[in-house]
Structure 1
Amino acid sequence: MAPVLVSLALWMVTTVVIAFTDVGDIRSDSNAFWWAFFLVPFAMFSSVMQVVLMASERSATLMFVKALGRWVEVGFVTGGVVLIQNNAATVFGGKLAVAALLCVYYVHWIKRNFRFSMSSLDINATLGAFRYGIPMMANELAWVALVAIDRVMLKEITSDFAAVGIYAIGYSLAMQINVLMSATLSEAFVPVANRIHGAQGDEAVRELKRTLLRPLTYACIGVAAMVLGVGNEVIVALSGPAKAASGDVFVIVGMAIAIYPMFEVGNYGLLLRNKSTIVLAITLSAAALNILLNLLLIPRLGFIGAAWSTVASYAALAIGGALFCPRGLFQAPGPHSVLLACSCAAILLLWIEYGLAPEIENIWIFLFMSALSFAIFYAAPVWAFDRELRAAVMALRKGRGA
């Protein structure tokens, strides 16, 4: 609980400073600001508890609580805006109410599942946790910079708010792929890898990676192929023809984000050796590369330059992770899986481009037929030609049935 107490102390100090000095021209009568500010400790505690659930390998509970919390938040915010007042303070008030309810649940859960005692406090272990955790905290901040800096630079370099809006729409939709694949994967894979490494060592972790990378390779390349094939149409279907320019951003960034989980799993190893400082250095280097490329490409290519800068930064993360991953823990995707996935993806894309696109004008019918084509030209051949994948799925089904 030490990180919670330290974070709470820093928040209280910040509260006092802002309340008595109006730092940054933030007025004390700004209701929306204070609603949002008081949301911080609840969000921080929820984040810590989510990490505890993830480390405890309770991914089902974690996913259920997060999904339920999101929907309850939608209900509270919508109800507040409709029934009380349509302003930002009401929105943050609804978020704060849901965050408080989640914290009550987390306190109840932790009292049932954990026991705390000051006599069990290990000072050396606590100091070691801080040495490991502080670079990881800085790494999270570096990730925030990596994700957000392109929009800031796009605005400052071009002074074109329309370009920022176009980029933000495409980028935000691409990040949903990250939520679907990378974030969900890490919550399931990382705790298991940590446990296996502590109990069985490096080779057991590599075996886990080999088992996971086979279906993950097919999933990553398949999603990337669909983003390339129908990404522009998805943007038009969801946002309307006026936002069609965001499609190129979604395609470029979305493909990079779809492919990245393969490297994220294969390169996972530095944190198993407590090398959090190296992880921070890799992220900072990728962020610096992103800034440099934005300076070079945005004046020439506009928001497309920012998109390619993001792709380059993800490539830097993948290459850096592979170079510095301990050799006993690195695992590349299987060449057979990569070749089969790329071959099926190429056939699928050719069919979408030359078989479907010229014949179908209705965008929703086109998307439906593209999804059906994915099953026929990608999923079915992968299943048919990869005997080991079929065996693994059958074994998993038998294990669940038992």
Structure 2
Amino acid sequence: MRILHLINLDNVGGVERLFCEFISHTDPDEVTNLVFADSKNIAPLLVGTVKRHTQDIRFLKHWGKVKIPKKPASIRLNHRKRIISRIKPDLVLIWNQLSDTRPGDIPSDIPVVYYEHGMAWYTHSQAKERNFIPQIDGYIAASHAAKRMLQLKYDVNKEIDVCLNPIRNACMHYPTKIAAPDKSKPFVIGMACRLVALKAVNLGIYAIKNLQDSGIRCELRIAGAGPMKDQLVALSERLGVASSVKLLGLVDDMDAFYSGIDCMLSTSIHETFSLVSAEAMAAGSPAIVGKVDGLPEVVKDGITGFCITPRLTREQYMELEASSPNLPEKVYDVDSDSIVSPKLLDPADIADAVRQLANSADLYMRMSQEARQWSRSQFRFERYMDEMMQALRQYHPASPAGEIVPQTL
């Protein structure tokens, strides 16, 4: 099966990492990976994997050494149309982007599968949605929440296969926690995400303040980089908790990060699936997340951690912050199975969940063991690959091979 992947590889995120894991684990006797990337500016962390595991790579914004102008848009779109017609893949797999695809851009005899990993939550032009959705033959969603967003927002009535995000194989070998955290040391809370408004990391800092005011010794370790770093530093200093908030920047060794924390916290306003929570649980760290979107599919409330119902409105959040957060317009509410306006976690609720874990060794060890077993059984990488390939095989027609002219990055 010759799969042409349409994907933006300029930055490193969950989708891009997952794509690289996918192409590096496909059976070369069954799958030939071809890539149509947005540009030649492939993130350095991804280049090696892309080179090793793709037979051919083309670019939307480049033809050889020539950069294709942005306007008129038809130039780039016609370029992509020609490339797809020449390559004649057995299947086109679009990774989490509602691309500008006009009717007829992809030959009708080539199946098109869309992989949804969060793009359905964002606002797109009506013209893009009107042109894109009818051309999709099938869907793969990273969570049941992603599936429901496609159905509720876009009235998708075609097949949607759910393939839950997998944890890395290395996570299967984390040592078992044999004791609850030492109460003579600070209870360590971990966060790992981009430092942007959507992730609401500042709520974790407010929770640290709440915990320390109630006499709980704790520390917040934040792995990640982004434009909000300076604001987070200033907030921790203003609240008097700077010595207990560690901004680590980009962390290469996440295995060491997970082994050094006692629980994982996600304060994200929207999250299709929290891979860092799943990986932290594989290390035996209970996770605290919001009960929104795909997070309840990762964390079993009261068993592997806590799923807290968000209850802060935008206005209440603004009382904590100088400006309104960049909230998504809508999120998926699992209780009502509907699309609703977003809310945020209350720092007091976060602190209460941490307090329960820090104060009860029995509760902590029970959740630690459940989290470890749940994550390693539910999110195995082999399971993910089996489900992905089973989903893709549905759309694999007999098709003559097209032209392959490898290009260098």
Q: TM bucket by the smaller chain?
A: under 0.3
Q: Which has the higher strand share?
A: 2
Rg bigger for which structure?
A: 1
Q: Normalising by structure 2, what TM-score?
A: 0.27
Q: Which has the higher helix share?
A: 1
